[in-house]
Amino acid sequence: MLPRVPQSEASIAKSKFSRPMAAQSYNPDKKSQSELITRSAEIYQKELDEKEELEKKFAHDPNFPYVDPDSFEPDEEPAPEPGGNPVVRAEDRLTKKQKRKKEARKAEERLRQAKRMIKKTKEDFNRIKGIVKQIRKSGRILELKKQKKIQNQLANSTDPTKCKLGKKRFQPMFPEVLLSDEVTGHLRDTVVSDNVVKAQFTRLQERKMIEPRDKMKKLKLRYKRKTIKIHKLDVEA
């Protein structure tokens, strides 16, 4: 099979000056290649000279043991640099088959979530009418409660018998009943109740013209006794 021949100037320029792909060499000339090899050899020779000098310097000094970097084996794996990619072991790497399965599972999960969202949207759309009715009903109930509250406040402010004067509530007094011995056959002989003033007072409280209050307890004054010593003066007779 013959190689493909470019037909235009753009394709010719692209074939000559295009960038190499990954793992592809630039194909440098022999002069550049020899310079690179010479420079690498000089760097390696410099490292060898430094190594020999250090070995001679610390050969007989026990306080400064020299450790060969080539033979040094760390006990633990090097920690990844901050912000860099973590170290991936050979046993942790996934094969192409495992990667394909993982991507397939992710795609299935995304598709399942999308189906659930579509189903939920349809259910919400079908429930719109019921939700609107429920909102309107609750709005009417709240409006009626609000109007009733305003009417009660207006009635309490205008009618003195419905307003609340204080914290205490009115407690009706138990009616007085005459015993069988106290009842006489004639109305003039009937004993008059002594609590007429109290009954009238409770009546005014019931009509909310006087604030109902608790009866105050009488405070008993306690006096502290104090002994006074009287010194007698000896007076000569």
pTM of the model: 0.25
Considering only residues 88 and 7, tell me which one the structure prediction assigns the higher pLDDT: 88
Domain segments of the chain as ranges:
34-70, 118-158
Q: Is the pLDDT of residue 60 over 60?
A: yes
Per-residue confidence band for 116, with pLDDT thresholds at 50, 70 and 90: very high
pLDDT digits (tens, 9 = 90+) for 164-211: 677 777 777 777 777 777 777 776 776 666 677 888 888 888 877 888
Considering only residues 109 and 19, tell me which one the structure prediction assigns the higher pLDDT: 109
Q: Is the pLDDT of residue 105 over 60?
A: yes
Q: Is the pLDDT of residue 2 over 50?
A: no
pLDDT the model gives residue 33? 79
Alpha-carbon dihedral 175, 181, 187, 188, rounded to 10 degrees: -110
Query: 84 is written with which tokens?
Result: 């860099």
pLDDT digits (tens, 9 = 90+) for 203-213: 888 877 888 88
Q: Is the pLDDT of residue 147 over 70?
A: yes
Give 4's Cβ-side CA count (13 Å radius): 6
Task: Compute the distance between CA of residue 117 and CA of residue 125 in angstroms, rounded to an integer.
Answer: 12
Nearest one of 87, 209, 100 to 160, comparing CA atoms: 209
pLDDT the model gives residue 140? 93
Per cent of the chain over pLDDT 70 is 65
Query: 132 is written with which tokens?
Result: 């609107």
Query: 74 is written with which tokens?
Result: 């760390």
Determine the average pLDDT of the residues in 143-165: 78
Task: Compute the distance between CA of residue 43 and CA of residue 4 in angstroms, rounded to an integer.
Answer: 44
pLDDT the model gives residue 237? 45
Tell me the pLDDT of the chain averaged across its residues.
Answer: 75
CB neighbour list of residue 54: distance below 8 Å, 6 or more residues apart: 66
